[in-house]
Structure 1
Amino acid sequence: MIRVVLADDEAMIRAGIKAVLSADPGIEVVAEAADGREAVEQVRAHRPDIALLDVRMPRLDGLSAAAVLRASMPEVGVVMLTTFDEDDYVAGALEAGAGGFLLKAADPRELIFGLRAVAEGGAYMSPRIARKVITRLTGGHLSRTAAARAQVDMLTPRERDVLTLVGRGLANQDIARELFLSEGTVKAHVSAILLRLGLTNRVQAAIIAYEAGLVHPYG
C-alpha cells in the first residue's frame, strides 16, 4: 500500500485528486494539507511513502516544502503537481530533490504511474515536461537517437523488454509468450509505455525502439 500526504491550497482540486487516488486499491491518502507548512507537519506526523505537493501554496510553497522534506525525511518520496510547466518550476523541483513532476491536466493514469514509480525508488516526469527538460539541458541540440534513449531511460527494465518486442513487431500474445507473462499484463505494460513516453500508438513506440537502438533493422 502506497501511503500519500496530499497538499493543495484548493479544496476542490484536493477532492478531485483524492478521488483519483482512492480509486486505486493500492494507494491510500492518509492526510491532506492546504499549505506548505501544514504539508510538512502532516508528513512528519504520518511518515507516508509519498508527499504529493502543489507547487504554488501559501505560507510555504511546494518547492520550499519539498526541500525541507528531502533534507529532514529523505525516505519520503516527493512528487510535485502543478498546472504550470515553466522551466523555473521544473528546475526548482529538480533542485529540491523531487522524484516526480506532474501536470494537473495530465491523464489521471499518469498520476498513478508517477506515484508508483517514485514509491518504488524511481523517478517520473510528464512526457511534456521531460521533453522540455531534455531540450533545455542540451541547449536544443539533441539527436533523435539521444532523445529516444533519454525517453527509454524513463522506463522500467520490464517496460524496456516489452518495448523491444513491440519494436520487433510482435503482437501482445507473442510478447506474453516470449516474456512468460499473461496477455493482460503485456497490455498493461504497453499502455504504461505509451503513457510514459507521450505516444498514441504502437507504431510510434516501435519507432522509438528503433531510434533508441533497442531494435536493429538487420537482426
Structure 2
Amino acid sequence: MTNISIAIAEDQPLALKSILKKLSNTAGLDVSFTAANGLELLEKFEKQQTNIVLMDIEMPVMEGITATRQLKEKYPDVKVLMLTTFDDDDKIFNAILSGAAGYLLKDESADMIKKAIADIYEGGAAMSPGIALKALNYIKSTPQPKAETTSPEPSLLSARETEILTALKEGLAYKQIADKLYISEGTVRKHIENIYRKLQVNNKVSAVNMAKANKWL
C-alpha cells in the first residue's frame, strides 16, 4: 500500500482506541494526529495536512458534516471518510453533499476500513454494504418529476448563478468552483448568497432541490 497519511476526528476515547487498533501495524498507513471534534480537526489540519480524514459525525463543538464541508472548501484535495454509528438517510445524504468520499459504520472490520481508505485515496468511493443499499433506496424513493407538456417556470437565477448551483450539485467545493469559472472564492460566495436569497432557502440542498423541481437545472 502507498504511504497514506491519516487524521482522525473522534470524540469517544473507546471508539478512537478501536479505530487505532484496526489501523495499527499496517504498512503504508500513518496516523498523523487525532482530534476530539470538528473544530480541533480543522485547527490541527492547518498545521499538518493529511491525505485522508476519518470523520465521526456526532461530536461536540463542531459535528462532522459541518467540519467536512469546511475542510473540503479550504482543502479540496483531501479525502474524507465518514466513520460513524449513524445510518440515517439524512446524515448519509448530507455527508455526501458536504464532500465526503465514503461512509462506513464503526463496526466494520479492519480489512474493510483499510480497503475503503485505499479506495478513496485512489479516487474511488467507499460505503458499507448496508449504507450503499440505504442510499440506493433513498434515491429510488425520491419522487420523480412528472412529465409535463407545459414549459417550466422561467428561472429566477442568472446564467452564472445556474452554473454555480450546478457545480454545487456536482459536489464541487467553493475553491474548485472558483478555479473552474475563473473567478474568486469571494465572488462564488456572493453568488451563492444571492441564490439563497432569490430562492428563499438557507442551504445548498434546499437550493438544488428547488432548482431541480422547477427544471432550472
Q: Same-fold call, TM > 0.5?
A: yes
Specify the TM-score bucket, using the shorter chain as the normaliser: 0.5 to 0.7
Residues 69-118 of structure 1: CA deviation (Å, up to 9, x unaligned): 11000111011011110101101111101001000112221111111111
Residues 139-160 of structure 1: CA deviation (Å, up to 9, x unaligned): 289xxxxxxxxxxxxxxxxxxx
Does the 8 A contact of 1:90 with 1:101 survive in 2? Answer: yes
Q: 1:23 offset after TM fit, Å?
A: 2.4
Residues 113-147 of structure 1: CA deviation (Å, up to 9, x unaligned): 11111111111111110011111102289xxxxxx
Instruction: Tell me, in whole angstroms, the C-alpha distance in 1 between the residues paired with 2:27 and 2:109.
Output: 18
Counterpart pick for 1:108 among 110, 127, 140: 110
Counterpart pick for 2:64 among 62, 65, 69: 62
Does the 8 A contact of 1:43 with 1:51 survive in 2? Answer: no
Instruction: Tell me, in whole angstroms, the C-alpha distance in 2 between the residues paired with 1:91 and 1:83.
Output: 15
Match of 1:28 in 2: 30
State the SS of the aligned residue for 2:141. Answer: coil
Listed as ranges, the matches of 1:1-219 within 5 Å are 1-139=3-141
Residues 146-192 of structure 1: CA deviation (Å, up to 9, x unaligned): xxxxxxxxxxxxxxxxxxxxxxxxxxxxxxxxxxxxxxxxxxxxxxx
Does the 8 A contact of 1:8 with 1:34 survive in 2? Answer: yes
Instruction: Tell me, in whole angstroms, the C-alpha distance in 1 between the residues paired with 2:75 and 2:115.
Output: 23
Instruction: Tell me, in whole angstroms, the C-alpha distance in 2 between the residues paired with 1:140 and 1:41.
Output: 37
Match of 2:177 in 1: none
Residues 28-56 of structure 1: CA deviation (Å, up to 9, x unaligned): 10001001100111222211000111011
Give the superposed CA RMSD.
1.4
Unpaired runs of 5+ residues, structure 2, are 144-217
Letter in 2 for 1:38: E
Q: What is the total number of aligned residue pairs between the two structures?
A: 141
Letter in 2 for 1:6: I
State the SS of the aligned residue for 1:80. Answer: strand
Does the 8 A contact of 1:66 with 1:98 survive in 2? Answer: yes
Name the TM-score, length of structure 1 as normaliser: 0.62
Residues 179-217 of structure 1: CA deviation (Å, up to 9, x unaligned): xxxxxxxxxxxxxxxxxxxxxxxxxxxxxxxxxxxxxxx
Q: Which moved more, 1:40-49 or 1:89-98?
A: 40-49
Unpaired runs of 5+ residues, structure 1, are 142-219
Name the TM-score, length of structure 2 as normaliser: 0.63
Letter in 2 for 1:79: L
Letter in 1 for 2:29: I
Does the 8 A contact of 1:50 with 1:79 survive in 2? Answer: yes
Does the 8 A contact of 1:5 with 1:42 survive in 2? Answer: no
Moved over 4 A (4+): none
